[in-house]
Structure formats: structure tokens, C-alpha cells
Amino acid sequence: MGPRCQRSPIFFLFLVAMLPIISSSVSRLLAPALARTRNPNPSRAANRLLLLHSVLPSSSPLRAFCPLPRPSARATCSAAYSAMADTDNPLLADFDFPPFDAVQPAHVRPGIRTLLARLEGELEALEKGVEPVWDKLVVPLERITDRLDVVWNVVDHLKAVKDSADLRAAVEDVQPDKVKFYLRLGQSKPIYQAFNAIRNSSQWDSLSDARKRVVQGQIKDAVLGGVALEDEQRDKFNQIQQDLEKLTEKFSENVLDATKKFEKLITDKKQIDGLPASALGLAAQTAVSKGHENATADNGPWVITLDAPSFSAVMQHAKNRALREEVYRAYLTRASSGDLDNTDIISQILKLRLEKAKLLGYKNYAEVSLARKMATVDRVQELLEKIRAASWDHAVQDMEDLKAFVKDSGSAEANDLANWDLNFWSERLRESKYDIDEESLRPYFALPKVMDGLFSLANKLFGINVEPADGLAPVWNSDVKFYCVKDSSNSPVAYFYFDPYSRPSEKRGGAWMNVVFSRSRVLARNGSSVRLPVAHMVCNQMPPVGDKPSLMTFREVETVFHEFGHALQHMLTTQDEAFVAGISGIEWDAVELPSQFMENWCYHKETLLSIAKHYETGEVLPEEIYAKLVAAKNFRAGSFSLRQIRFASVDMELHTTYDPSGPVSVYDVDRKVAERTQVLAPLPEDRFLCGFSHIFAGGYAAGYYSYKWAEVLSADAFSAFEDAGLDNEKAIEETGRRFRDTVLALGGGKSPLEVFVSFRGREPSPEPLLRHNGLLPVAA
């Protein structure tokens, strides 16, 4: 992570003081860091840079400023930026942290193509000299794959958070080259044979569990990547992979463009009666960004969009039923017509996945997907049906309760309750039943205080400290925060970025965590023993409005805790083999365990009251409101459970029994699934599949069930803390350390079942999940 040699602090100060006369290339290198200081004066800049050292121990290599020990004239500024290579393309720089602020669309084509050419040469050299020995096989392979993964992830990340027509065009041009290289690498027979030789050698039994998992994973990935195919079959497989890459990328772009396309300008405040002040402020702020420069929350005009904060506010609070219907229909038919229609893309994707499965010798794509997961098709279907059956009667009762409430309210809507009415009336029922208004809670959940409480919880459970490190690494937007994670000895163990706010014009919806760097012994720099992991967390919550900080809904608080759980598993890994460090090498249906585990703490009294403080008065959330939040936790739990079962079931149907060349449409399949998973039938024109990015543009194809699968694991894991006693500080700390040392530390170095048993002492049970969701009696 750091530069490759050290100098004294005096040498560092000397170089900073001499900045005006350093060569122009190094000046350009330091410019972004100096621009981030309040005063460009060199001595003040030096002080600012030295402040960055406060997050690092004196022995850290990141405190040095030094030339690289190479023949070429390269320099490294560890605290400010990355070491530029002998080119002006930041993608080819030898960086400590990715130069997110410097990468432009124009860098993508030459940068990726140059990198691929270099890596092709390294791959050829590896194949020629490959031996079934760790240092001559895995080490050079890790260097090749990591470099491409890191650089491509920079580009891919920017496309997700800073999208533009130029960046899209550049990615589209080089994507086939990237896919071609990955196919070439994955189908390398010399490498595949070398891994098989290790697997069958006398040294196998002496390998660590982590190294065995690396070998087994590489062999499995090679088989699933077509290494055993020859000639025409291999060519066909490779063309399928290229086509799938293009189609999934296009699917994602269509969803983003369709979401951005819908805008409803409102000038009459009566039309948005019921919207809370936060939503009015956001709608006015959006109007300003669309050219209505005098828009205000009180007087408008207001712009409604399909971006999550806007869409959710309308569906939950707008009294105008016609507006709810219009926005609902627009959302449910996104990317299903005109130039942005994803219908044919879905059909092509499913056909190609089925072709790919059959080329590999499988009956359907679900078998391919589950070949690298914990579950089997039969076990998935068994779990989904068990949860569906446990949820159905509760969901039916939810609907009866809602109809009765609407009728008692005297609304004419009671006679023909429609899909666009459910969220609105459910929110009114929740307010009535529990005397709790989610919007009125926003002032208690200011983002800075929520993050402080989250970090305090991480300290208590896992013995880590999270400290701001803004300025240490370049960022892609001024709203992005950068943090350093330290252990109990005050040594850095990881870093992460946090991009919290919605930016509909350039940022895709949803929330996610992804890898920047994996922990790696092989890629350690500057004499350190390991390269530290780096992650990024991305959310899409309401941004600050006016002089108010970002005020969050409780659901947004849960989302932040969820994504931080993913980040913790990546950052607190103790595995030094990058192929199984952090979230790498973990079976996909187990990867949601830490994220969903962290959500449980949002209902823990001490944790919640530590973050729920009024942003203006500092008043702690009253305990009676906390009690109401807990009481409302399982409100409509049956309905919410069925919703997830619907998504998971239609995903499995489309990837198991569905014939994409037959007369039945994907929408027919969805409607059939909805008959047993949705109490109120979906609209005939429901096209939610056209926006189902998880399975058509993400990693969840024949894998959406993973949320429920991992929810079983996470609920059972949290029940260990319940068993220990949530009010027993010492027991909670001990259980938290055990969770860190197993679930968070072991990464993909052991099978998920082994990891779970190491923590829990037994195999997982679905009972805690059903109990937590109120779908079983507490005493069951």
C-alpha cells in the first residue's frame, strides 16, 4: 500500500518545501492533494499533509515521500496521491490509492489496451515457465489478475457513480478486449494443469486450508470458464460470454436512462399534499437542478422522479391517488418500451445462459450458478417454499387488516384497493397502530451521528477504531468520505470510501459495497508484510437540503449498517492469500451473512439510542418511541417476506424450467409465481423484470435466493448474542470477538459452513429467522 522506501520526516518536509522547483510531472502529481488544502502556501500545505500522519503509526510506510528504487524517474507521494508511471495516464500509474479524481473517459481506451498488452506478455511468460509450485504459479497469477481487477474496477466504479456518455462509449469499446483476456486467462491449459498437478501431488496434505481453497476454486472456475472445451465449442462459449457482457451492460444502462427519463413537474402544491417537508425540499432542489432556479420547498415548483428518495416519498405519503398511480406505473414499467426496452435483452440473456450451461454439461443455468455456492437447486426450492408457507397466512391477514383500516377511515379507496395504494395506506396504518411516523424520526437520524454510532458499535464488538482520513486518498466526488480502520494497537488494518447521497443524473440506484484492493501478502509494498484491504460503500439516501444535514429514514439507517457489514468482512480478514481474502472466494449465498447480521443491531436499544439524537437539540430519541420502533419491527412481515420470495422464485424459475425459446413469456412466468407469493395480484402490465438489475445486470442470476439463505445464517448468528445476553457487556464483547475471528476473519479460506460452525458451534437453523420476523411464536 505504501511506497517502496522510506525517508526521514526532515526529508519529507524538505521535498514539500521545494515543491515550486520540482519537475512539472511531479507538480501535476501533487496538485490534487494541495488543492484539497485550505491554503496553497507550501508551508501550510506541508502542515496539512503532516496532519494526515496522525492516522498512521510512526512505522507506517505511508509516512514516507521518496523516489522509487527503479531506473526510471518515478516518484511517490504516499500521503497525497499515487506514483505516476512513465505516462500521463492515471490508470497506468503505480498508485497507493486509485486516482479516482484524475481518471477521465479519454484515459480508458489507451489505458486498458496498454495494460492488457502488458498483461498478455506476463501471461505468456507464466505459461512458458509454469510449474506446479506455489511461488511459480499462484504468485505470478495473482499479480496478473489483481492488476487488471483493480484497474477495471476503477473504471467500472466510475461508470456506476459518475456516468457519462463519453465514459459509456469508452467502456463499450474496450469491454470486448477485457472479456477476451479474462477468457484467455481462465482457459489457459498450462495454468489449469498446474493447479491439477498441485491438487494431485504429495504436497497437497501439507497445504493450509486457505491454499487448498485457492487451488480448488481455480480449478472449479477454470471448468466453469470453459477450459475443457475445444475448437468450435470453445469459440461458441467465448462468443456467448462476449454477448452476455454487452447485454448485461446495456440492460443496466437502460434502467438508469429510463429512471432518469421520468420527470414530473408540479406547480400546484395541492397535487403533492401529504409529502413531508424533507420530500418537498428534495423535489424543489431537483427542480433547481433542472433549471427552475427560484424553486423552493414551500412555493415550488417541484420535480418528482423515479429515484428512490423521491419515488418512496410519493408512494408512502402523497394523498393524491392519481399521482401515486402515475408514478407507480412509471416505475413498474421502467425500461420496457421504446429504445430503452429491456424485454428482448432479457430473452437474449436467458437464451445465452442456457446455451452456456449446456456447453458446460449442465441441464440449466441454475446448476452453473450454484456450482460455486453452498446450496443446490433442490435445497433452494425447499427453503423458499418453507418460508413462503410460513409467510402466506400472515400476508393474507396483513391485507385484511389494511382493507379494514381503509374502510374505517372512510376512504372510497377501500372498495378497490390497488397496488399504488398499499404503501400509502400501510404507512397510515403503521402510524395509527404504533403511533409512529417515520418522517418525524428523520431529525433523530442525522448521517454524521449515525456513522459515529455505527463506528462505536464496531469498536465494542470487534475492537476496531474507525477514523476520518479525508485527503489521504483521491475521491470521485466532494461528498465522498475516506476512513482508516485501526486495530487495538492503533495500527491501520484497512481503509474505505463512503459515498452516501443520491445523484440521479450520474449515479445508479441502490446501495452496494465493492472491493478496491484485497488483502495480499504477494502484493505487499515497501517492506510491509501485507497489502491492506480497501473497500468502498455506496448508498443513495437523501442528500443534505439547505443547511440541514442528511436526515435519514430508519430504513436508510438499516441500509448503511448492511453495507458496512459487507465492508467489515472485506476489511477485517486475516487471510493473506488474495484469492480467498475478505469477500473473495466466499460462496455467493453466504456473502450476505455479515451485512444482514449488522442490521439486527439497529433494534438494539443501546446502539439505537447512541445514534438517535436530534440534529438541532441533541435530544435523545425518547424511550417510548424506541419501544414503538421495536414493536413495529415485524409490521407486515409476512408481506415483506413474500415479496423477497417472489423475486427469488421467479429468478429460479427463469433459470431452471423456463424455455426462453418457447411460447411462454417471462412475464407469464412472473405472473404465475405471483399467484402464490403476492396476495394482491400484480398489474397485467407489470414489467418489474425489465428493471431487475440484480439478476440481469448484477451477480445474482439464479442467486437472488442468497438473501434469504444468508438471512437464515445471519439471524442464527445474531441469536448467539441473544443467548449470551444483549445487556451483558462482557459476553457481547467476547461473542463479538469470536464473530470477528471466524465470520469476518476467515474469508474464503474455509467453507462457509465450516466458518459458521466455528462461530456457532452447530449448523444453522431457520428457526431464529422465522422467530425474528414474527412468523413463529417466540417460544417455538
The answer to whether the CB of 526 falls within 8 A of the CB of 566 is: no
Buried b (16+ CB within 10 A) or exposed e, 438-452: bbebbbbbbbebbbe
Cβ burial of 386 (10 Å; 0-12, 13-18, 19+) is: middle
3-class DSSP state for residue 511? coil
563 included as an active-site residue: yes
The enclosing H or E element of 496 equals strand 492-501
State the catalytic residue, choosing from 142, 556, 563, 592.
563
Q: Measuring CA to CA, how many Å separate 376 from each of 366, 483, 581, 653, 706?
A: 9, 39, 24, 14, 12
CA atoms within 13 A on the CB side of 154: 27
Q: Cα–Cα distance between 63 and 60 in angstroms, integer?
A: 6
97's grid cell: 490509492
Q: Which pairs count as long-range contacts for 121-124, CB under 8 Å and 24+ apart, including other chains?
A: 123/184, 123/185, 123/188
Phi-psi region of 23 (alpha: psi -120 to 50; beta: other; left: phi over 0): beta
Place of cell 436530534: 614
Q: Phi and psi of 101, rounded to 5°? A: -80, -15
Cβ burial of 135 (10 Å; 0-12, 13-18, 19+) is: exposed
DSSP state of 531: B
Q: Is the dihedral of CA 327, 329, 331, 334 positive or negative?
A: negative
Q: Cα–Cα distance between 607 and 451 in angstroms, integer?
A: 11
Q: Cα–Cα distance between 589 and 700 in angstroms, integer?
A: 9
Task: Please state whether beta strands 492-501 and 534-541 pair in parallel, antiparallel, or not at all (unpaired).
Answer: parallel
The residues assigned a catalytic role are: 563
